[in-house]
Structure 1
Amino acid sequence: MRETLPGERATPIDTTGYEALPFSDRCREIWRRGEHLLIGVSPGNSYFSHRRIAELIGWGLEFFERIDIVHADLHVGAQYETFGYTPEHAHRRAAKEVKATARRIARGVEETGHRDAVRAHALSEFAGHPVYRRLHREALDALRADRDFGAAAEAMARGFLAARLDEGLAPNEPQLAAGLRYITAELPFFLDTPALLGVPSSVSCYHLQLPLTPVLFGRSEGLRAAPGQGYAVVRPAAPTAAAGAVAGTRAA
């Protein structure tokens, strides 16, 4: 674990309270390299408190040389419009959520005292990046041409939208389309974070298994993650860690 730099404030962080479940043997091997961890943060998601972010950083630095945190800020307002908000109100609410998310991330990074090892970004910062644009275009093409990919992306969008709908309601067509645009904007970081951030390999993590995970990381054809890209569920550990969880030491 990295030392705190002089003048930086470090709050004690629980570095034993999480477990990692890489999706596949290849993902596990990328994890063991310990080169880079990507943490994706969704605006408006109460799971990502500043304390949770600080804990994830402290825990992740036990295994990885560097961490990047990316929070979504694209197509958030468009979703609110499909739920009946006026464009002005939707923009204000989205901007408020995104700013609050950025503040929680900044506070979480500050509390760890590891600003040398952690970088934070808004997703929109990459919108003009040629690699991001290529990967995003590939994802859009796959939505139209790849049945398995499209079905998994739609399932992921429906799950995401369920939190904004009354219980038992399904998203209508405009809502589903907005959800798919939001998710597709994030997909480049599940496909090839190394190319986007200039790292040798990377593990993208989230606290849930996603419908797209087996498509991007478990098949041998169609759109899938780059060889240096891994995925792992990282979640609060149960009292007895799951049998498949990553051990607390890095492979030699």
Structure 2
Amino acid sequence: MFEFEPLTERCGGLLPTACHVCIGVSPFNSYFSTPRLRRMADWALTRFGNVHFFVPDALAACTLEALGYEPDHARRKARRQGQYVHNKIATALSALGVENPRRLILGMDRLYATPRYVTLLDDAYRCFREDEEFRAACLDATHWVLEQKLAPGTTASQEQLRGAVRYFLGELPLFADAGGIAASIAGVPGVPGVPSTPGVPDVGGHSPSFFVYHQRVGFLERFFARELAWRPVEGQGFLVVRDPVRPPAGVPGAEHPAETARALEVAHGIA
């Protein structure tokens, strides 16, 4: 069970009819253990019916280069870590009885071959070039990421930011239309997407979808509040999903954490 919260009020309005989530998994983040990935997959499949996992594997080389790795070393390191994360996700899904689990993993090779992703990526780069406020917001988000990886007291240079922002821009299409990208992949033999559901409002050929991550990001709050020049499609939302906080001993619910987590879901209007 997880505690989860729509990023904005508009995101909350999409929850009753959403039938797909895309879970973002950062390649070098130890938070995403195999047991946690299994629980997240179980939750997503139970609650929404359709799930994909997004792994920005090759993109991680952009951050590594910004941190000083030689380009070839950065690419090799990113590729090895990406394969490791893909394997963890596949193991988690297989444990739940999912057949051919790798079809539910979206790495960069698959995304670069997906028309909807490529179109959105072009749009993101165009807006980055042409809109000063959007560009500043992307660089600020990248600065926040790099500051957590650089030595204390070190500030990222403009050159580092310009290199590392490619990682962030590569993620943006999933924030903007994860459901549309999944539906686009449905055109590839053997890869299920997100078909329209009878009785559910249809948005661009697919039902409402959510991108899932365990942290709030300032850029995304502005993005999903539609304050920036580039915006998510109408049917795309964002959920912040975390492990529930266990109440201290003696507090009502401490002995039954599952019931406590269920109550949190009800409070957020999900259950």
**Structure 1 match to 2:255:** none
Q: CA deviation at 1:144?
A: 2.7
Question: C-alpha separation between the residues in 1 aligned to 2:235 and 2:213?
Answer: 18
Question: C-alpha separation between the residues in 2 aligned to 1:249 and 1:63?
Answer: 14
Q: Deviations over 1:210-238 (max 9, x none)?
A: 12222221026621110110001111112
Q: Deviations over 1:60-115 (max 9, x none)?
A: 22310111111012332243233333333222212221111111111121222244
The question of 1:91 aligning with 2:62 is answered no
TM score, norm. by length of structure 2: 0.77
Matched-pair contact (CA < 8 Å) for 2:5–2:268:
no
Matched-pair contact (CA < 8 Å) for 1:215–1:224:
no
Secondary structure class of the residue paired with 1:195? helix
Query: Which of 179, 182, 185 is the equivalent residue of 2:167?
Result: 182
Question: C-alpha separation between the residues in 2 aligned to 1:173 and 1:138?
Answer: 23
Query: Which of 90, 112, 127 is the equivalent residue of 1:127?
Result: 112
Where does 1:9-88 land on structure 2 (aligned, <5 Å)?
Answer: 16=1, 18-88=2-72
Question: C-alpha separation between the residues in 2 aligned to 1:116 and 1:230?
Answer: 27
Closer, same or farther: CA 246–60 of 1 in aligned 2, 3 Å = same
Question: C-alpha separation between the residues in 2 aligned to 1:171 and 1:69?
Answer: 30
The question of 1:209 aligning with 2:216 is answered yes
Closer, same or farther: CA 38–146 of 1 in aligned 2, 3 Å = same
Secondary structure class of the residue paired with 1:159? helix
Matched-pair contact (CA < 8 Å) for 2:19–2:48:
yes
Query: Which of 226, 235, 253 is the equivalent residue of 1:228?
Result: 235
**Structure 2 match to 1:138:** 123
Query: Which of 147, 151, 155 is the equivalent residue of 1:162?
Result: 147
Deviates more, 1:65-74 or 1:216-225: 216-225
Question: C-alpha separation between the residues in 1 aligned to 2:163 and 2:210?
Answer: 27
Question: C-alpha separation between the residues in 2 aligned to 1:106 and 1:221?
Answer: 36
Question: C-alpha separation between the residues in 1 aligned to 2:270 and 2:136?
Answer: 36
Query: Which of 150, 156, 181 is the equivalent residue of 1:196?
Result: 181
Question: C-alpha separation between the residues in 2 aligned to 1:131 and 1:146?
Answer: 22
- Give the counterpart letter for 1:81 in structure 2: E
For structure 2, the residue ranges without an aligned partner over 5 or more in a row are 184-193, 195-206, 248-259
Question: C-alpha separation between the residues in 1 aligned to 2:266 and 2:134?
Answer: 32
Secondary structure class of the residue paired with 2:104? strand
Where does 1:98-113 land on structure 2 (aligned, <5 Å)?
Answer: 98-113=82-97
**Aligned Cα root-mean-square deviation (Å):** 2.6
Question: C-alpha separation between the residues in 1 aligned to 2:135 and 2:105?
Answer: 30
Matched-pair contact (CA < 8 Å) for 2:55–2:106:
yes
- Name the % identity: 29
Q: CA deviation at 1:23?
A: 1.5
Matched-pair contact (CA < 8 Å) for 1:190–1:231:
yes
Greater share of helix residues, 1 or 2?
A: 2
Question: C-alpha separation between the residues in 2 aligned to 1:106 and 1:29?
Answer: 32
